[in-house]
Amino acid sequence: MDRTLLDPATGAPLLRYTVGGATAPSAPTVLLVHGFGSDFAANWVRTGWTTALEGTGRRFVGVDLPGHGRSPKPHVPSHYSPGSLGDLLARVLAESGDGPADVVAYSMGSRLAWQLAVDHPASVRRIVLGGFGPEDAFAGTDPDRLGGEDAGPFAAVFAAAAALPGADPTALAACAKGQAREPYRPVPAPADVPVLLVAGELDPIAAGAEGLAADLAGAELLRVPRRDHRTAVSAQSFKRAAVAFLDRPDRGAGTAADYTG
């Protein structure tokens, strides 16, 4: 079922999201948050995640973030700050779910899931952060020159996203600027929210994930062999790890053995 989150003051659409999967009232809810330049369908449907979650009796809520997919694409950077987008995710959960939800996110979506858990801890039970590490993805990048050859390391990511069918390059540039203005900081960290980090072993964007996992109380890490930032999200080992992690009681701990087989 497709839904639209509206601005409470103006009634204007802010983002679109899909609710699907298990329909039982007791089914646990999983919020799915995609990465930069992607959308719900590309990140989670075509990679098999929605099928996997439904197969384990879960209900999923998949968002198209502003600037992406079916959602409005504003050209104002302030609309894309991690704090603003985290607040929108909290509103989606309030509208669509019962009680705290689990969150599975990837890349930029993981940055937003982190913000959601910091700012709205009562909305989140557990979080799975894919393709994410403590390094600033925009380091060395001039967000005002993303179309230029000397814009920095993120320019290649931007160019690939902007060339996708249906993309709005101006909106994506605004998104990059809004994100870059609030660089990720490991403090404050999500309080009393169990965290699983998952990244391809060949993913430079997730560099430093081991250190981040060590610094977060009770956090766990899975490196996916022979996968990079683009290919890790579809790995079956990623799905198995996430489901095993979400299957645990609210504050239960596990080991790497939970993610094998």
64 in any annotated domain: yes
d(CA 105, CA 40) in angstroms, rounded, equals 11
Mean pLDDT of the chain: 91
146 in any annotated domain: no
99 in any annotated domain: yes
Return the minimum-mean-pLDDT range out of 68-72, 115-119, 183-187: 183-187
d(CA 61, CA 86) in angstroms, rounded, equals 15
d(CA 138, CA 177) in angstroms, rounded, equals 9
**How many other C-beta atoms lie within 10 A of the C-beta of residue 210?**
15
Residue 43 near residue 106, CB atoms below 8 Å: yes
Instruction: Using pLDDT thresholds of 50, 70 and 90, give the confidence band for residue 254.
Output: very low
**How many other C-beta atoms lie within 10 A of the C-beta of residue 164?**
14
d(CA 124, CA 250) in angstroms, rounded, equals 10
pLDDT (mean) for 103-128: 97
Number of domains forming the structure of the chain:
1
Q: What is the pLDDT of residue 193?
A: 95
Sheet with 29-33: strands ordered across: 2-6, 13-21, 59-64, 29-33, 101-106, 124-130, 195-200, 220-224
In the chain, the largest separation of any two C-alpha atoms, in whole Å, equals 52
pLDDT (mean) for 113-137: 94
pLDDT tens per residue, range 66-115: 999 999 999 999 999 999 999 999 999 999 877 799 999 999 999 999 99
Domain that holds residue 214: 2-136+185-251
Q: What pTM was computed for the model?
A: 0.94
179 in any annotated domain: no
Instruction: Using pLDDT thresholds of 50, 70 and 90, give the confidence band for residue 156.
Output: confident
Rounded percentage of the chain residues whose pLDDT exceeds 90: 77
Assigned token pair, 70: 């079916």
25 in any annotated domain: yes
171 in any annotated domain: no
46 in any annotated domain: yes
pLDDT tens per residue, range 167-182: 999 999 999 999 988 8
Closest of 154, 130, 150, 146 to residue 224, by C-alpha:
130
Residue 196 near residue 127, CB atoms below 8 Å: yes
12 in any annotated domain: yes
CATH of the domain at 6: 3.40.50.1820
